[in-house]
Structure 1
């Protein structure tokens, strides 16, 4: 099946002035505020939360830039997954002391309740099964002994390398289970893998203006029809695959 990359939101608002947009009714989303909903163990702090996800049972995974372990990619680790039940009761920490932890970015559950963590600092994406065992790993962080430091943005950008990520940001899946990783701050592309983790292709090129050009794809999501939506942050638009 042939795929196309097209502009989505940028085209949708063409011809709509500020008045027309303001007149569109936006439904209010009801909610209850509870600042004490998440119940952490004594002495544990939440820190800066970068991602949150909910599985089919209502369990809540919070990806925070707290410190659960030392051991640098470039300094102290700033990644920790905390799991709570649907009432906010703390259940456990997932992947404590994992090699992939460096700087938390995004956490997701797939349709099978596997937990996926995208770590911007280590350039790694990790899948945990519902029993918290690591079942798939993408990417590899730099060796700390080799004077590792964060990727530097250069012009023109370095060419992407299959299987290697440079500050990835998010993950999504199509209806066939294929895996899409937005990659990210440096490579500015989307990497596609089969459901088994085999490399398929790299989509998009660093740049602005043209369809298919990406500038810091910062988030990625899917719908029930298999479309993949890419939040093209640097170009201020959403593109769909």
Structure 2
């Protein structure tokens, strides 16, 4: 007896499949009741399921993000199997993704540039029917962040070993030589360290003891004091901003160190004379122009100094008074506020991380200064629009890629940002929160601690010195 089946009609259900059906009719009057049972039906067969509402996909069409499918709506009480499909940009030419058979799917690098569909197959005793979702938007890539050096803790360790296992102490700046070796200012260890293209780390200048000594001898036996910015000249000599010694040092290709600017006493005297007789005050960054002149970010003097190939020093930007007094004037008449980083573009324009003014400034070859990024208000607003209308926060670590895009670090913002050659700004790494998370994932979801120096290798990977974490981190393109 089928519970509740007492009407003139009966709709067959799944539990009837494989059986037969009879109808028992009981007639009743005043004389009593009589029952008659009709002939049995044929064997009940199953009806294949039918999809009435297509499966759907939710989630963000972005590498490393998770997509989730619904099964849609079906008749026939089927069970379900799922297959995720990789399609072209129009959603055509689907290819089954190996092992992607769950209700969720995490997008990978292989999906970038494609769209994704979900095929749901409903099955019951009557057969199987497949239904596919509409394709997603085209999957976009993300930059993946990873830790490449310093993961074993703060300190000094690792020379002669793979740099992944090395320890550093407040690495602040980086640069590459012409051979592709990476140089790191291991500021808290008072050393400059080199990572070969094979990944082996060593010390090229400094000892763990801070101080000033060693000119005229091997750089590895000399003392430095919290070195920061570095730059190579055209012949491969390494120049070091020996920041707390108020000097600029030079290491020849033969490994001999000397002083090329600064007497060691903090001050601002000496313009128009030999750089070795001049005073500097916390030189933080260095850069060379196309003809070999050396530029120094004289941080606490709020100036940019220039040392000619003949060794004569002068001020080319900044009055020595911290502040901001406008753009469109001669750079030497403009105020800066703790300039921290320098770089040149291919046209010979000098870019200055004007740290305390929350700006990036540009000085043309003709000596006129302007603001390239930032409004002067520290913050993170303005992504997706003109960099000149955006907020930036304590700018550091300027570097250009081969396409002319400028990258910079935000010490106070705990982010790395990019300005396209067309002047549009965006964030590329960091949540803005101070901390350490995110390795192996989307760089925008990672935390950093006052990122400082940036460098780009020949493959376009961006390296970030994360000084308060005592690590070097890497962003893949």
Instruction: Note if contact 1:160-1:187 (Cα within 8 Å) is conserved in structure 2.
Output: no
Q: Compute the displacement of 1:120 (Å).
A: 1.2
SS of residue matched to 1:118: strand
| 2:141 aligned with 1:141 | no
Give the structure 2 partner of residue 96 of structure 1: 276
Q: Compute the displacement of 1:109 (Å).
A: 2.3
Give the structure 2 partner of residue 122 of structure 1: 301
| 2:365 aligned with 1:195 | yes
Give the structure 1 partner of residue 417 of structure 2: 239
Give the structure 1 partner of residue 352 of structure 2: 181
Instruction: Note if contact 2:278-2:313 (Cα within 8 Å) is conserved in structure 1.
Output: no
Distance 1:160 1:217, change over 3 A: farther
Q: Compute the displacement of 1:181 (Å).
A: 0.9
| 2:33 aligned with 1:33 | no
Structure number with higher relative contact order (C-alpha < 8 Å, ≥ 6 residues apart): 1
In structure 2, which of residues 401, 407, 410 is the aligned counterpart of residue 223 of structure 1? 401
- 2: distance between equivalents of 1:217 and 1:89? 33
Q: TM (normalized to structure 2)?
A: 0.37
Q: Compute the displacement of 1:239 (Å).
A: 2.3
Q: For each residue in 1:126-177, what CA deviation from the matched residue of structure 2 results, as whole angstroms up to 9, or x when unmatched?
A: 12222222365210224xxxxxxxx6xxxxxx76544110111111222211
Distance 1:207 1:32, change over 3 A: closer
- 1: distance between equivalents of 2:281 and 2:148? 42
Give the structure 1 partner of residue 436 of structure 2: none
Count of matched residue positions in the alignment of Structure 1 and Structure 2: 200
SS of residue matched to 1:200: strand
SS of residue matched to 1:106: strand
| 2:250 aligned with 1:83 | yes
In structure 2, which of residues 205, 223, 230 is the aligned counterpart of residue 45 of structure 1? 223
In structure 2, which of residues 339, 344, 366 is the aligned counterpart of residue 168 of structure 1? 339
- 2: distance between equivalents of 1:25 and 1:45? 27
SS of residue matched to 1:33: strand
SS of residue matched to 2:320: coil
Q: Compute the displacement of 1:182 (Å).
A: 1.0
Give the structure 1 partner of residue 435 of structure 2: none
Give the structure 1 partner of residue 3 of structure 2: none
Give the structure 1 partner of residue 132 of structure 2: none
- 2: distance between equivalents of 1:116 and 1:238? 24
Q: For each residue in 1:48-75, what CA deviation from the matched residue of structure 2 results, as whole angstroms up to 9, or x when unmatched?
A: 21222211211111111344xxxxxxxx
Unaligned runs of 5+ in 2: 1-61, 66-105, 109-143, 150-162, 165-196, 208-212, 262-274, 328-333, 384-389, 420-477
Q: Compute the displacement of 1:32 (Å).
A: 5.0
| 2:392 aligned with 1:214 | yes
Instruction: Note if contact 1:83-1:90 (Cα within 8 Å) is conserved in structure 2.
Output: yes
Q: For each residue in 1:184-235, what CA deviation from the matched residue of structure 2 results, as whole angstroms up to 9, or x when unmatched?
A: 0x21001122112112345312232312210101121123332222212222
- 2: distance between equivalents of 1:214 and 1:123? 19
| Greater C-alpha Rg | 2
- 1: distance between equivalents of 2:306 and 2:314? 6
SS of residue matched to 1:131: coil
